[in-house]
Structure 1
Amino acid sequence: MPYVIPAPIQPSVPVTGSDASFPVHRVYCVGRNYVDHAKEMGHTGREAPFFFMKPSDAVLPVAAGTTGELPYPSQTQDFQHEMELVVAIGKGGSDIAVADALSHVWGYAVGLDMTRRDLQGEAKKLGRPWDTGKAFEHSAPIGPITPIEQAGDIGAAAITLRVNGDLRQSSSIGMLIWNVAETIADLSTYFRLQPGDLIYTGTPAGVAAVQRGDELVGAIDGLDTLRVKIV
């Protein structure tokens, strides 16, 4: 069937050790999923998980051994990094049990949930959606996806982010309030998960602003490092 305008390109992410790529369906994000970050943002305790979304074309894939270029976005004076473990879904489903959740995972990657914090803050005060703060172009940089069987014990992996060589964020995936299996199970009660979905699982404390020229290096044990430069 012909289209009246050119069809959009399918967003995809490189796969570790392969010339194949992972096609992206939806991008889900979990808010305030580390205790230290929840406190940093003025909240405490194990509150129920909550989710927001980015469009699939917000994904900025960065191949292994390269540095991606991340444009500084318009309409902000407070562009902040949030370092995250990304879960790539390989098998869909609804109302997934926690015990079965990891069987739906295809792999893991290092990702950044980039945020126009001033726009997000204003939206929060006005009770409006966060889209302008979270869902803009290139707001979801991601490194290559490592298949789950090659990723090792991701639940105990260290997670760090350095900006211009200085350590900004440092924690362990074990410090997630809602772990990967619990997050998948809860998310699947709201949406029917599909192969190709990405889940950004939340960020540790240490979120801060970046400027043009800054170089960000995100690392999670067992996964390919993510490198981006703000341009």
Structure 2
Amino acid sequence: MQVQEILKNNSIANRFISQLRDTGIQTDRMRFRRNIERLGEIMAYELSKELEYENKEVNTPLGKSEVPMPKNELVICSILRAGLPLHQGILNYFDDAENSFISAYRHHPDNDEKFEILVEYLASPSLEGKTLILADPMLATGRSFSNVLNALGSMGKPEKIHLVSVIGSDEGVEYLKSEFPENSKLWIATIDHELDKNGYIVPGLGDAGDLCFGNKMQH
């Protein structure tokens, strides 16, 4: 699996990541969601450079013009609920893509730091021969992405898989390299080096789902 880390080169994306991490700013849920959405747009633009293109003739007021247009059949799959703003950012640029939604969450069966990733809901078109874009803002252990890929297995085999995330950990990235096909690619804004004992990214930014949509009751 290839890895493209956006913040290895300085850009306006630095500002959006800074605001997502900043405890003085991130409590503004609307701005938090919008910053994730904007990073989704940035990564969708970068990802678009690796799609396949074919010429399309366009009629202008003064003649005709040939424009290379992407020809891939795209399916964007976001992991509920934190993935929704990232999904929207990608969809803003790939507005004719099909869409898939799946739930994946941390279940603590013994009410301690040990958890398992459970997948309980899936709505998806066929993935056969298409380009699948998996979106989840936080890549901690990598188990959510892996479990979602397994759950999507019955939907058909995609021709290419792209993963899009905002902040990840070294451990999570290495885990995905062992779980995803070699020709898949991870697009991620930045990678932190640590996971704490609860499997959260350090320094990270906290719980992206709660910061986007408010605290949830545990079950």
Say yes or no: TM over 0.5: no
TM-score calculated relative to the size of structure 2? 0.24
Bigger RCO of structures 1 and 2 (CA < 8 A, at least 6 apart): 1
With normalisation by structure 1, the TM-score equals: 0.23
Which has more helix, going by share of residues? 2
